[in-house]
A = this chain, B = another copy of it.
Amino acid sequence: MNFNRRNFLRNAAIGAAGLAAIPEILSAAMPLSPLKKKGLLSTMEKGDVILFQGDSITDAGRERQKQEANSPASFGSGYAFLAASGILNDYASKEFSIYNRGISGNKVYQLAERWQKDCLDLKPHVLSILIGVNDFWHKLNGNYNGTVEIYETDFRKLLVETKKMLPNVQLVIGEPYAVLDGSAVDEKWFPEFDAYRHSSKKVAEEFEAIYIPFHDIFDQAQKYAPGKYWTADGVHPSMAGAALMAQAWLKAVE
């Protein structure tokens, strides 16, 4: 093995004519987070496990009967695939095992129901969780009677259990987001939805998680292109939106 230490993404081949907003968006939305851990990936051990958990945004159409690490079909086509592909190339010699166990429609209590099998048994060293939009959305559309207090309490309970079983796990928590311009997101979402965002940040701080402010990031992104460019329904990202989220994830653990 003779890996060069240069950065594959930094050396990528699109060329100077590219018209990219992403670095500016991320700099504006992620200024100097006290929750950021410098150089997380480079300090990890060879063979360590990274797990992406969440709802449909993380699931991204993965083949759920396939449970393999580092496998495209097991990752679907979302931010987790894009972020994991970058990690596997930039840290090839680390031989990480990266899993995706997001499931569409999940709320935080549904993560808890499958947590032993879909998290604890995998013994992740880095555990990334993006959950919360359905906790609000399904309530709004009358299919769930949870509250933001239930969301926060359930989330905290899940993480207490996680830290008990995996005391050294590094948590990465993504802020639930909603983009007003999307077909499924209207004024009725706000300000009530903001309470879920704030709960996720509060919980992240309690557990010293790396926090990714996705809602702020999509707010900044709308300075460069309309909301529908980043997500058609306001919840599920477009390809451009998924790439933005992946870059944010990587920047957060940089």
Contact = CB atoms under 8 A, between A and B. Distances in A.
Interface of A: 1-24, 26, 39, 41-42, 60-63, 70-73, 75-78, 81-82, 84-94, 98, 223-225, 229, 237-240, 242-244, 247, 250-251, 254
Contact of A81 (B11, B63, B239): B239
What is the total number of copies of this protein in its complex? 2
A247 B9 CA distance: 9
Contact of A224 (B1, B16, B75, B247): B1
A17 B5 contact: yes
Contact of A247 (B12, B19, B239): B12
A22 B240 CA distance: 23
A7 B1 contact: no
Contacts of A92: 19-21, 224-225, 229, 240
29 contacts: A2-B21, A3-B224, A4-B19, A4-B24, A5-B17, A7-B14, A7-B16, A9-B13, A9-B14, A9-B18, A9-B20, A10-B11, A12-B247, A13-B26, A14-B87, A14-B254, A17-B42, A19-B90, A21-B89, A60-B72, A61-B61, A70-B238, A71-B238, A82-B82, A86-B243, A88-B240, A89-B244, A92-B225, A92-B229
A124 B202 CA distance: 49
Contacts of A6: 18, 20, 23
Best-surrounded residue of A5, A20, A21 (most CB of chain B within 10 A): A20
Contact of A77 (B10, B77, B89): B77
Nearest to A90: B18
Given A89-B244, A92-B240, A224 B72 contact: no
A54 B148 CA distance: 47
Given A5-B17, A61-B63, A72 B242 contact: yes
A6 B24 CA distance: 9
Sorted from nearest, which 4 A-B pairs have the closest CB atoms?
Answer: A17-B42, A18-B90, A8-B20, A13-B251
Contacts of A62: 77
Contacts of A82: 82, 85
Nearest to A3: B19
A240 B70 contact: yes
Nearest to A27: B11
A254 B13 contact: yes
Given A23-B4, A61-B72, A90 B14 contact: yes
A65 to B, nearest CB: 12
